[in-house]
Structure 1
Amino acid sequence: MLVRTCEVGPWPMNAYALVCPQTGVSALVDPGADPEHLLALLQGTQPVALILTHTHRDHIGALEEMRALLHVPLYAHPGPHANDLHLELDAHLHHDATLNIGEGQVRIYATPGHCADQVSLAVVGGEAILVGDTLFAGGPGRTWSARDFQTSLATLRTVVLPWPDTAHCYPGHGPSFRLGEVRPLIEQFLARQHPADFYGHAEW
């Protein structure tokens, strides 16, 4: 499975296309903004799906435009979605399920903390994992309550760290990285005593 990426929006945010090289079938992940750039990302492929890693506004800003342009099913976690957003989904993404994209597959991991409906998408038989805002090279995704931060810690321990060091993590913002490059930092982060009421931005 090939991974294409482009930065969109004012923040900016990483949009992705997963492309099956055998069939040319593709899925667009996180249509945050700039539909013309998203269409360029899909050039030469046959889009069959729109996928959301989560529903924060910067990741879905061009969703309606792309649904109208592509006429393909929308896949996302069943929710609850961010800011009480109501989405008309064509299919739900559940933990440990798989989704076919041409002759390739991605495995779904529920990775909540930054957002209740956050999922990560791992290419089956490959190294790429689209992690959304689950984690970045410099730290975990921002949390919005102490409970969310504790959820994020649990996600790191039980879901992220079991991935292999060779996992190539593609985040929602910033550069990609190998999990092995940051594993010692994550382990040190998890070993710290964090204040019970802590949440917000954090660094490894």
Structure 2
Amino acid sequence: MIKKTNANYFQVAQGVWGMKLTFVNIYMIANRRGVKKGWVLIDTGPKGSAHKIIAMAEALFGVGTRPTAIILTHGHTDHVGSLKTLLKHWDVPVYAHEYELPYLTGKSSYPPPDPTVGGGAISFFSVLFSRKPLKLGNRVRVIDMATGVPELPEWKIIYTPGHSPGHISLFFPLNTTLIVGDAFVTTKAESPVYALGNIKKLSGPPMYATTDWESAKESVTRLAALEPRIAGTGHGPVMRGRELQAALNELVENFDDVAVPKNGRYSEQPVISDETGVLYVPPFKTNRKFVAATIITGLVAGFIIARQIHKSVS
């Protein structure tokens, strides 16, 4: 039984709405045309978010509504955490890119996050994020990249790998709206202050979980070439107009300097994967900043534990 709650959402563009769930965004898109009119859900947020998503849907489209489909930009846990719960409530098809299927059908785990990239505490604690695949079986369908998703015919599906092997973004040519996933973001995803506070800062994909930086750069370049006027990203607030285009062009021009971590595990050598999953992961390498952060974190954690023990015995 899913407990209902009040919806708290924002409008991205005409027929497009989003909702921030802790530090990640999900989106709902109304389908204006085609045989299957209705609406489509983009990503499902972290685990435990299903009741909020259902409340948002019913506030927008009416009690008892359900999407015609769920489209996944990629399968990282913060974007698919509530998927299984939602599928118990809604019997609808799920779409993803072919290269993302291994992580949605139990065939492969994602490569390890990289806690050495810096940028904030979220990077350091990314080692705790789940890498286990979902086991959706035949519930998930491969997106036909030539024709797109039939439940959302006016939107183009764009292959934007780098952050994950089968990452996709969505583009609506009529008003040049992008739903980007994590191909780029509009906050500093590595920093809890920025990510939780929804502070605006157009950035590359979250560094701690990006495993192919050359592909990530090509993907951002591809999206910038579309000259979008609206962008809804997986992390951060909506960006629009000249602010978006200027920031996106600046990111493309300076991608290697501002987006790629200097000493990251995947900075010089990417993960190798195909439609079966991960084939090769570069060896882990540490650096002084990471060692220092580990020591400091350990000391702080030890102090907190010791204090709690002292309180319990005094």
TM surpasses 0.5 = yes
Residue of structure 2 equivalent to 1:184:
249
User: 1:36 corresponds to which residue?
Assistant: 51
Greater shift, 114-123 or 77-86, is seen at: 77-86
Task: Report whether the alignment pairs 1:73 with 2:93.
Answer: yes
Distance (whole Å) between structure 2 residues aligned to residue 146 and residue 69 of structure 1: 32
Q: Per the alignment, do residues 174 and 196 of structure 1 end up closer, same or farther by CA in structure 2, a change over 3 Å counting?
A: closer
**Which residue of structure 1 lines up, in the alignment, with residue 80 of structure 2?**
60
Match of 1:173 in 2: 235
Q: CA deviation at 1:65?
A: 0.7
1:175 aligned partner, one-letter code: P
| DSSP 3-state at the match of 1:181 | helix
C-alpha displacement at 1:189, in angstroms? 1.1
Q: Alpha carbons of 1:197 and 1:145: their partners in 2 closer, same or farther (altered >3 Å)?
A: farther
CA RMSD of aligned residues (A): 3.0
Query: Displacement, 1:15?
Result: 1.0
Structure 2 counterpart of 1:15, from 16, 26, 49? 26
SS in 2 for 1:153: helix
Q: Residues 144 and 93 (structure 1 numbering): CA distance in 2 closer, same or farther, change over 3 Å?
A: farther
| In 1: Cα distance, 2:147 partner to 2:254 partner | 29
- Decide whether aligned partners of structure 1 residues 94 and 113 sit closer, same or farther in structure 2, where only a CA change above 3 A counts: farther
User: In the aligned structure 2, how far is the partner of 1:195 from the partner of 1:90?
Assistant: 33
What does residue range 1-204 of structure 1 map to in structure 2 within 5 Å?
2-8=15-21, 10=22, 12-21=23-32, 25-33=38-46, 34-43=49-58, 44=61, 45-78=65-98, 79=100, 80-81=102-103, 82=110, 83=131, 85=133, 86-88=135-137, 89-101=139-151, 104-137=153-186, 138-143=202-207, 148-157=212-221, 159-166=222-229, 168-178=230-240, 179-190=244-255, 198=264
Secondary structure of the structure 1 residue equivalent to 2:19 = strand
The answer to whether the 8 A contact 1:146-1:199 is kept is no
Deviation of 1:106 (Å): 1.6
Larger radius of gyration: 2
**What is the TM-score of this pair, normalised by structure 1?**
0.81
Q: 1:98 to 1:175 in 2, by over 3 A?
A: same
Contact 2:97 2:142 in 1 (8 A): yes
For structure 2, the 5+ residue unaligned runs are 1-13, 104-109, 111-130, 187-201, 268-314
Q: What are structure 1's unaligned runs of at least 5 residues?
A: none
Please tell me whether the aligned partners of residues 131 and 169 of structure 1 are also in contact (alpha carbons under 8 angstroms).
yes
* Comparing 138-147 and 177-186, the one that deviates more: 138-147
Distance 1:47 1:71 in 2: 9
Q: Which amino acid is the alignment partner of residue 150 of structure 2?
A: N
Measured at CA, do residues 58 and 191 of structure 1 come closer, stay the same or move farther in structure 2, by a change above 3 Å? Answer: closer
Task: Give how far 1:175 is off.
Answer: 0.6
- Provide, for residues 88-123 of structure 1, a one-character-per-residue CA deviation record: whole Å limited to 9, x for no partner: 244212445422336x52211111111112110112
Tell me if the contact between 2:163 and 2:210 (Cα under 8 Å) persists in the aligned partners: no
User: Higher strand share goes to which structure?
Assistant: 1
Query: How far apart are the structure 1 equivalents of 2:239 and 2:161?
Result: 20
TM-score calculated relative to the size of structure 2: 0.55
- Report the residue type matching 2:82 in the other structure: A
| Conservation of the 8 A alpha-carbon contact between 2:185 and 2:206 | no
Deviating more after overlay: 141-150 vs 108-117: 141-150
Would the aligned equivalents of 1:29 and 1:51 in 2 still touch at CA under 8 Å? Answer: yes
The one-letter amino acid of 2:151's match is: I
